[in-house]
Structure 1
Amino acid sequence: MENIGAFLGFWERGAQKRSNFEETASRSVKRWASTTVFLSFFIILFIGSFLYWVNVSVFPGSLLREEIFASKSSEESLGECPEYFRWIHKDLEPWKHTGISREMLERAKAHAQFRLVIINGDAYVEKYKNAYQTRDVFTVWGILQLLRLYPGKVPDLELMFSCGDRPVVKKRDYEGANSTSPPPVFHYCGDQESLDIVFPDWSFWGWAETNIRPWNSILEDIKEGNKRTKWINRAPYAYWKGNPYVSIAREDLMKCNVTDKYQWKTRLYVQDWHKEKKQGFKKSKLADQCTHRYKIYVEGQAWSARAIGRAGSRYMQEKLKMKYVYDYMFHLLIEYAKLLKFEPRIPNEGKKVCAQKLASSQNGLGKRFMVESMVNSSSETLPCTMPPPFEPLSLKAFFENNEMIKRQVEMWEKDSWESLKFG
């Protein structure tokens, strides 16, 4: 279930007033999500029975452009976006007063696997470095699906994207009176010590190398898997399966496995992806892993009660559905585009990409997952409405509460080891 943990990690980061499950999950989340904006703004005008999208972009030289996209009068919004969308405002704070210049963007190139440019609804990619497996390909694929879902509504923009495992823009390097503004780098991850602009990771559209299907399909698989065994009839242990060699936290977690001396009520398993691939991924299906009462996630969080498990399942089905993934991307890119102080342009080595050609260039599971996750028609509903930024005092209380919980857990850990040592 480690991949579900990664999914929840992204979306759980920002909730402030939620159920016990939501608060528990958000504690484990690092700094996720950001949106840089284009010196442009989107205004929704209701004129008669028609709804118009107005994008007014202001560039140096007093160049003013207006793009008006008419939408069907029958379109309706999903209402206000989930609470975690508030982190978009927080993550873009480093550029709130300065905006983003081309010089800042070009400094981000050193960290990027590729540059993405969107102009008039078309996407162009300039590749710099190879990404691990097909992360970059499926990230671009996800953005192409967004353009198909909301055609003509994503503003012109230009960004740099890093496909690595760890944040690359360290906050400490841009502090102090003589410091420069940080380079804007889109990434899959972040934390309180970094300034990366976090974006949904590639696996929402499938992870071919590990046979992880697109998120919409996974949600249905897990729903069916949960029905096979009632919670009360599942093994009364905390379960985790994955690769423990990619982080210190995971290596520490493996120390809590059952031994002849200690019974931690855990069942922890190492996932050998090379062996699993040779065997046809028969033992790594997420829907087949709903056999234990508790699940331990990547950051070390575990279900602690039956009610929390139910709340978590509902939250995943309702607040993490793919429509919200796309809406998060949409608002992130809208806000990012507003900050740009230059006019996006197609780079010399940039290549236009489209969904059909990208899918046809793939083979095996890669092609299958792209076909499975393809957006076949534009949305009949408008994106959800962005919530306002966090109030400073409430955000301060949020982080203080996180630190208090962290210290409490560390105290429990220390007491537990002491009791084993002298008990």
Structure 2
Amino acid sequence: MLFQDWRSESRKGFKGSNLEDQCTHRYKIYIEGEAWSVSEKYILSCDSMTLLVKPEFHDFFIRSMVPMKHYWPIRQNSKCGDLKFAVEWGNNNTDKAQVIGRQGSDYIMKDLEMKYVYDYMFYVLQGYGKLMKLDVTVPENAIEVCSETMACPITDGSRLIRQCMDDSLVMSPSVKAACNLPKPYGDYELKRILKRRQSAERKVMKWTDEYWNLRSGK
């Protein structure tokens, strides 16, 4: 796997890392590098079955995603064998693989609409605000940054970057309050969710291990 030189890419207009060009494959692999990776949501939104190597860092939205419904789980300690079997399974079950890909993409496109993200940000900032015990003051030399100063200089050829920024703008005050967050999971609900996820992961592990045991003659 080649190291991605983002400084070089930025000078070339990201011609070698176009997200649209990456959405033409039957399978997409998500794996963290040295730390958390921003690409997770982009990979999941490609309509391809995502082969997701178990991450150490978690985006806020991944906790609601279910293995074998939104993505195919890959173990960290046996990546090569797990990935090969996942591709074999997908090639022999193309309809099911496509369903997993679409369900993962639908989750990102529908459940992560900007209005929901803004609601999430509102409650997170509100929660942090309640924990703060210091007085916040604006520095004398502070410069105000508004949406125009951020978006106007962007003149990419396809205008997709500018369009995405414009689509995420809040054009007017909301006509309704932020959504009401559900109550925290109780012990029973949390255990049920974790059990469902672990059950799906164990099923994939069982299939994978049986596949390789047969190949090795065990």
Q: What range is the shorter-chain TM-score in?
A: 0.5 to 0.7
Contact kept in structure 2, 1:14 and 1:26, CA below 8 Å: no
Greater percentage in helix = 2
| Partner secondary structure for residue 184 of structure 2 | coil
Q: Does 1:266 align with 2:95?
A: no
Contact kept in structure 2, 1:294 and 1:303, CA below 8 Å: yes
Alignment of 1:342-353 (within 5 A): 342-347=134-139, 350-353=142-145
Give TM-score scaled by structure 1 length.
Answer: 0.31
Q: 1:14 aligns with which of 46, 49, 64?
A: 64
Q: Which residue of 1 aligns with 2:177?
A: 382
What CA deviation, in whole Å up to 9, does each residue of 1:360-396 have, x standing for no partner? 2333144343234333222222211111111134324
Q: Which residue of 1 aligns with 2:198?
A: 403
Q: Kindly tell me: are residues 329 and 249 of structure 1, through their superposed partners in 2, closer, same or farther at Cα, counting changes over 3 Å?
A: farther
Contact kept in structure 2, 1:256 and 1:266, CA below 8 Å: no
Contact kept in structure 1, 2:44 and 2:104, CA below 8 Å: no
Q: 1:338 aligns with which of 100, 120, 130?
A: 130
Q: Which residue of 2 aligns with 1:362?
A: 154
Q: Per-residue deviation at 1:420?
A: 2.1
- The one-letter amino acid of 2:127's match is E
- The one-letter amino acid of 1:353's match is V
Q: Which residue of 2 aligns with 1:5?
A: 44
Larger radius of gyration: 1
Q: Does 1:392 align with 2:184?
A: no
2-structure distance, mates of 1:386, 1:254: 37
Q: Which residue of 2 aligns with 1:327?
A: 119
1-structure distance, mates of 2:209, 2:215: 10
Q: Per-residue deviation at 1:317?
A: 5.9
Q: 1:412 aligns with which of 203, 207, 210?
A: 207
Higher relative contact order (CA 8 A, sep 6+): 1
- The one-letter amino acid of 2:100's match is W
| Partner secondary structure for residue 144 of structure 2 | strand
Q: Kindly tell me: are residues 27 and 345 of structure 1, through their superposed partners in 2, closer, same or farther at Cα, counting changes over 3 Å?
A: farther
Alignment of 1:156-305 (within 5 A): 255-256=84-85, 264-266=89-91, 293-295=95-97, 303=100
2-structure distance, mates of 1:257, 1:412: 10
Gaps in structure 1 of 5+ consecutive residues = 16-20, 29-246, 268-291, 297-301
Q: Per-residue deviation at 1:316?
A: 5.5
| Partner secondary structure for residue 345 of structure 1 | coil
State the identity as a percent: 26
1-structure distance, mates of 2:60, 2:71: 9
1-structure distance, mates of 2:77, 2:140: 42
Q: Per-residue deviation at 1:253?
A: 6.0
What CA deviation, in whole Å up to 9, does each residue of 1:171-229 have, x standing for no partner? xxxxxxxxxxxxxxxxxxxxxxxxxxxxxxxxxxxxxxxxxxxxxxxxxxxxxxxxxxx
Number of equivalent positions: 162
1-structure distance, mates of 2:120, 2:104: 20
1-structure distance, mates of 2:145, 2:77: 38
Give TM-score scaled by structure 2 length.
Answer: 0.53
Contact kept in structure 1, 2:119 and 2:179, CA below 8 Å: yes
Please provide the CA RMSD for this pair.
4.3
Q: Does 1:421 align with 2:216?
A: yes
Alignment of 1:52-67 (within 5 A): none
- The one-letter amino acid of 1:266's match is N
| Partner secondary structure for residue 411 of structure 1 | helix
2-structure distance, mates of 1:295, 1:27: 9
| Partner secondary structure for residue 303 of structure 1 | helix
